[in-house]
Structure formats: structure tokens, C-alpha cells
Structure 1
Amino acid sequence: MRKLIALVVVAATLYGGYWFVGRSQIQSKLSEALVDIDAGDYDLTYDTLHTKGFPSRFDTTITNLEFNDPLTATSWAAPIFQLFALSYRPNEVIAVFPNEQTLTVDGEVFTLLTNDMRASGKVRANATLAFQTATIEMDYPRIRTEEGAELAMASILAAMRLTPETIQTYDLFLEARSIELPEDVRRMIDPQNQQPAIIQSLRFDSDIDLSAPIELNGANTDPIGLEAISIKEFALAWGEMSLSAIGDVTPDATGLLNGSFSISARNWQQLLDLAVATGSIPEERRLLIVGMAANIDETPHVPDTLTATLTITDGQMALGPIPLGAAPLLR
């Protein structure tokens, strides 16, 4: 019995020592990282940084955190920011954001309001700290301007993970639900209120191939390049109108793209109605565009759906036989 008690005491002492050493390491390393950021191209300030949670957690709280990027004239500020990790699983971290944050872009101040906003990340428990997963979720996010205009959504989910059985291919996913545009923006794109006030959903699902794996403590100091993008799903649903796309593109050494996308638009004439209502397309050109659409439609047997292939060759885009100009550079 005495030996058992002694063993328990020794184990508790060792674990307690591990926790206090871990807390000290977290506070010092995190403080050093924040100082390094502030000493570089960015400005970063905060009031306090404390870690608690004994015995099973490392809970770190930073108060009045502010990040500034002078080059782009953007800044982000939060009255409180928290990082949580289990003491026996420190390579998995959860970040919790306050319900109100401030974002300044070129002198214009925006307020981000959420019912709940949190992110999580996981790295491999090895020397290089290879990236595994990252997720950010927002419940009822609203971005409000100083004048009171507001972009609101029911929810946002963004995620990234290392694709199983690969070392430098990553899955990217984004979904926003029940999107309500600011009133002035909605009047601009739908002046006659032809569409519902709520955009049902926006979804983006893709794979990206990188030139090297993402490692937080890796030896590679060269910038990681983009080797290929595969869009498994892009989908936008607004009322009875929807737009979807799938395809693959690959940039060359200079960033010029090559590849193709299959694009499908259901009830696409409603999009044409919006373009005419806003003046983007003159009414007298409506029949011409309808005729061109009929010529490039790959699914003429589906009356309410227009399907066409967007090809990109040496950075030049074409929708069917119709040239569209240069595609964006990716490098």
C-alpha cells in the first residue's frame, strides 16, 4: 500500500512538473513569436498574456490584441483572444474569438459580430510540426460598416486538411449559408427585386497540390508554390437560379494557367434579366446573347440549364468558341 501511495505521489509530482514546464514554454514561445511578428513587417501589440488550466489543459488568454499591416493599410483588433489545448495533446489547438472584432481596411472600419467564432488546428507531433488540419466556424456572422450597412450569414465553415496518403496535397472547403447582402449592394445587382433577399448557399470544395509540404518547423525556407488546383465543386444557389463548376487548372513557371472548367447554370435567363435590369447588358442585345448561349450550350436537351466549358490555354480564357481574355496569374 505504501509503495502504491508513493508511486501515485511520484506520478502526480512528475505530471505537475510537466504541466508547469509546459505552461512556461507556451508563454515564453508565444511571447517570443508575437515579439518576432512585431519586429518584422507588421505591428502587433497586446496588454496581457496568461496561461492556466492545471492539471489537464493549457488555456492561454491574450487581451487587447491588435495586428496591423502597414503595407496594405489593414488592421485587426480583438479585446480578448483565447487558445485552448489539452495538456496531453498540445499539438491540437482551439482558438476562440470574441463576439465583436474590428477590421480596418484603408481607413474604413468594419465590425465583425458573431454569436460564436472558433478555429481549430492540428499539426503532426514530430520535429517539423507538419500541418494536418485547420477549421474555422462562425455562427451568424455579420460584417457591419460605420454607416450601418451589414452583410450577414447564418453560418460559415472553412476547412483545410492534408489529403490522406499524400504529403503535399491539401483539401480546401468553404461553405456559407443564408447570405443576406447589404441593402445598397442588393439594389445595385437586383434593382427590381427579382431575386429573393437571401442567397441560399455558396460552397467551394477543391484540392491543391503544393511544391512542398506545409511545416511549421520545417527546414525548407523557400516559398511554397502552387502546382495544381482541382475544383471538385463550386456551387451558388440563389432562389431558383444556381451556378456550379468543376475542373482543373495548372500554372506554369510564370503563373500562366492551363486547364478547363465545366460550368452549368440553371435558370440562367434570370441572370440575364439581372444584367439587363442593372444596365450591364443593353436590352437590344438580349436576343443576341440568347442565340450565342444556344450555340455553346452542351446540354440543349435540358431547357432551363446552360452548360459550357471554360478553357484556359497559356493564360487565355475562352467560353466554348468565344474568347474572354486573360486569366488571372497564380504566381
Structure 2
Amino acid sequence: MAGARTKEAAIAGWFEARRAAGWAADYDSLGVAGFPLDFRTRMAGIVLADTRAQLAWTLPELGIAAAAWRPTRVQLAFPPDQILATPRGEVAIGSTALIGELALNTGPMLALRQAELTAAELQIADPDGTVDFAAPYARIARVAPDANRYAVTAGATSLHFDAEALRLIDPQGQRPATVDTLRLEMEVAFDAPLDRRTIEQARPAITGIALNELAGVWGQLELRAAGRLAVDPAGWPEGLIQVKAVNWREMVDQARAAGALPERLARPVEQALGAMASLAGSAETLDIPLSFRGGRVWLGLLPLGRAPRIVLR
């Protein structure tokens, strides 16, 4: 009983500390069972809002489990429905068997060694539409001995857009609603380790990305990418990502249909890319660098516009 009360007091104290730091942090109920072999914590009615980052997370319940003799390995059982509020709007998260696992270092900072999220199904819905992921997974693990570099893998057996989401990215209705074989492998470097300060104080800045593989199949379009980027303190990337696209003309058609490629440029872009593909030996396969420099993005010699800033809120 003393162990359970200590655990409850620690969780209540953390929520109180968040409130003192200016967060909205509340829950309706908290119970701990299982001691002395393990701690099985059940919480209900959870609201966490970081007002500075303008992020809020609402969960009807959450299960937290850890062995008493190994408290830094934690399993999280998420509810079927959650709400994430962001500056861009509210996102509803639906899931089946969404489980998280954390492995933390001992010590006051509880630095992250490894984390994993898996689910049978995951659904992300906002006012622009709904996307369903089949068997999604995401993993992050510290690359020893570098405390600030992490290996990241993520993917799903398929990704399905509902009619509203598909209309947003494919207004002409030329693409199938399902993306197959979605996979990501990369290493990400930060300016500080991922630990409790990442949640309680500020997210660390990304300083570099080594993209080992990004792969997907969308209808007849097959896309693979790999490369390296350095990220400056303002979040601007510099570097090269090599892109290989099979049936690449579908990618141009998609960009034109979505309005990302102006109609007046579509024909010249397709002709230029066709010449590059033919020089490489296959008219239907494009193998070309995506360059990031000076805050701009270039596909081969073709300017695409402003580069995205890579900043964690």
C-alpha cells in the first residue's frame, strides 16, 4: 500500500508542477494497483495543455504499467479515442490496440533510451478529412554513445484517404484512395537529449537528418528517397535528398492537379524531367537530387519554391 500511495503522490505532484508552470493539467481519477510485483496505474479524464506551445491533449483514460523492480520500462495503453488540439485546429485520434512502450535511463532527467508505438489501426481526422493507417508503427532509439542522436523508423501496411482528404490532395480524382508500402528509416540529431525537459520545458532543436529510406507505393507511382540534411538554428535545411520515382509523370500530374505546380510550368517541368530521365537510361524512372539551400528547394535544376522549416513546437 505504501508503494501505491508513493506512486499516486508522484503522479499528482507532476500534475501540480505542470499547473505551477502555467499548463492546464487535470485528471478526474487516479488509482494504482498491483504492488509489490508491479505498478498498474489507471487514470481517467486527463487534460494536458501546454499554453506556450498551444498544444492540448485530452484522453478519457490511460493505463500505465511498470514492474516494481524495473520502473524505468513503462507500457502505456491508450484509449480508442483521443483529442489533440493544435494551432491549426483539432485532431481526433481513433485507434484499435494502441500501445506505447518506453525505456528510460535511471536518474532525475529520465532520458529516453527507446520508445515504440504500435496499433492494429489508427485513424487521424480533422476538418479537412480522415486518414486511416493499417498496422502502423513508430520507433525511436538513442544511437549509443551519442546521447543526442536517435534512430527513427515508422510505417504502415497501408494508408487510406477518405473522400474529403483525397479531394484535397487529388482534386481531379486521378489517384487511388490507398497508399501501399509506407516506410521510413532515418537518424535524427538534436541539440539536446530527449528527456523529461522535452515535455516540461522546451522541445530540442533538430540539427541534422540522415534519411536512410523513405518508400511508398501509390497506384502506379513508386517513390524512394534517401540523403542527408543539416538544419540551422532557424530550422532551415541544407543538403541533398536523392529521389527515385517510377512512373514519375504521375507525380507531376498530381502536383498539377493539387495546385502545387502552376499550369503554365507543368509542361516545361515535364519536358525537363523527361529529358533527365532519358539521360539516366529510363524514360519512366526519374533518379534526381532534391536540393535544399538558401531556404529554397530545387529538383535537379528546377526551382520548386521555399523550403519547409524543420522546427518542433
Structure 1 pair 212/299, CA: closer, same or farther in 2 (3 Å)? farther
Instruction: Kindly provide the CA deviation profile for residues 133-179 of structure 1, in whole angstroms up to 9, marking residues without a partner as x.
Output: 011122212234589x5322212211110113433211112213321
In the alignment, structure 1 residue 80 sits paired with structure 2 residue 61: yes
Structure 1 pair 272/216, CA: closer, same or farther in 2 (3 Å)? closer
Instruction: Report what 2:229 is aligned to.
Output: 249
Instruction: Report what 1:150 is aligned to.
Output: 130
Structure 1 pair 152/214, CA: closer, same or farther in 2 (3 Å)? closer
Question: What SS class does the counterpart of residue 114 from structure 1 fall into?
Answer: strand
Instruction: Report what 1:95 is aligned to.
Output: 76
In the alignment, structure 1 residue 190 sits paired with structure 2 residue 170: yes
Gaps of 5+ in 1: 1-19
In the alignment, structure 1 residue 313 sits paired with structure 2 residue 293: yes
Length, aligned pairs only = 309
1:168 to 148, 154, 168: 148
Structure 1 pair 299/24, CA: closer, same or farther in 2 (3 Å)? farther
1:264 to 233, 236, 244: 244
Structure 1 pair 152/33, CA: closer, same or farther in 2 (3 Å)? same
Structure 1 pair 280/209, CA: closer, same or farther in 2 (3 Å)? closer
Structure 1 pair 298/203, CA: closer, same or farther in 2 (3 Å)? farther
1:58 maps to amino acid = F
Task: For 1:257 and 1:88, locate their aligned partners in 2 and report how far apart those are by CA, in whole Å.
Answer: 44
Instruction: Kindly provide the CA deviation profile for residues 289-320 of structure 1, in whole angstroms up to 9, marking residues without a partner as x.
Output: 22210344486212321111122234343222
2:215 maps to amino acid = A
Task: For 2:35 and 2:236, locate their aligned partners in 1 and report how far apart those are by CA, in whole Å.
Answer: 53
2:205–2:233 contact (8 Å) kept in structure 1: no
2:34 to 50, 53, 71: 53
2:303 to 323, 327, 330: 323
1:80 maps to amino acid = E
Tell me the TM-score normalized by structure 2: 0.85
1:294–1:300 contact (8 Å) kept in structure 2: no
> What is the deviation of 1:86?
0.9
Task: For 2:195 and 2:126, locate their aligned partners in 1 and report how far apart those are by CA, in whole Å.
Answer: 37
2:56–2:84 contact (8 Å) kept in structure 1: yes
2:274–2:283 contact (8 Å) kept in structure 1: no
1:91–1:124 contact (8 Å) kept in structure 2: yes
1:57–1:84 contact (8 Å) kept in structure 2: yes
Task: For 2:127 and 2:147, locate their aligned partners in 1 and report how far apart those are by CA, in whole Å.
Answer: 45
Q: Give runs of aligned pairs for residues 86-125 of structure 1, distance below 5 A.
A: 86-105=67-86, 110-125=91-106
Structure 1 pair 54/69, CA: closer, same or farther in 2 (3 Å)? closer
Task: For 2:89 and 2:306, locate their aligned partners in 1 and report how far apart those are by CA, in whole Å.
Answer: 31
Larger displacement relative to structure 2 (292-301 or 237-246): 292-301
1:258 maps to amino acid = E
Instruction: Report what 1:5 is aligned to.
Output: none
> What is the deviation of 1:49?
1.1
Task: For 1:253 and 1:276, locate their aligned partners in 2 and report how far apart those are by CA, in whole Å.
Answer: 33
1:166 maps to amino acid = D
1:232 to 208, 212, 224: 212
2:13 to 12, 32, 36: 32
The CA RMSD measured in Å over matched residues stands at 3.0
> What is the deviation of 1:107?
9.6
2:297 maps to amino acid = M
1:299–1:306 contact (8 Å) kept in structure 2: no
Structure 1 pair 163/279, CA: closer, same or farther in 2 (3 Å)? closer
> What is the deviation of 1:253?
4.5
2:112 to 104, 113, 131: 131
Instruction: Kindly provide the CA deviation profile for residues 92-118 of structure 1, in whole angstroms up to 9, marking residues without a partner as x.
Output: 001111112233456965532212111
Task: For 1:315 and 1:280, locate their aligned partners in 2 and report how far apart those are by CA, in whole Å.
Answer: 18
Instruction: Kindly provide the CA deviation profile for residues 243-265 of structure 1, in whole angstroms up to 9, marking residues without a partner as x.
Output: 22111111234544321111111
Identity of counterpart residues, as a percentage?
Answer: 24
Tell me the TM-score normalized by structure 1: 0.81
Structure 1 pair 44/193, CA: closer, same or farther in 2 (3 Å)? same
Task: For 1:42 and 1:203, locate their aligned partners in 2 and report how far apart those are by CA, in whole Å.
Answer: 35
Instruction: Report what 1:293 is aligned to.
Output: 273
Task: For 1:102 and 1:280, locate their aligned partners in 2 and report how far apart those are by CA, in whole Å.
Answer: 30
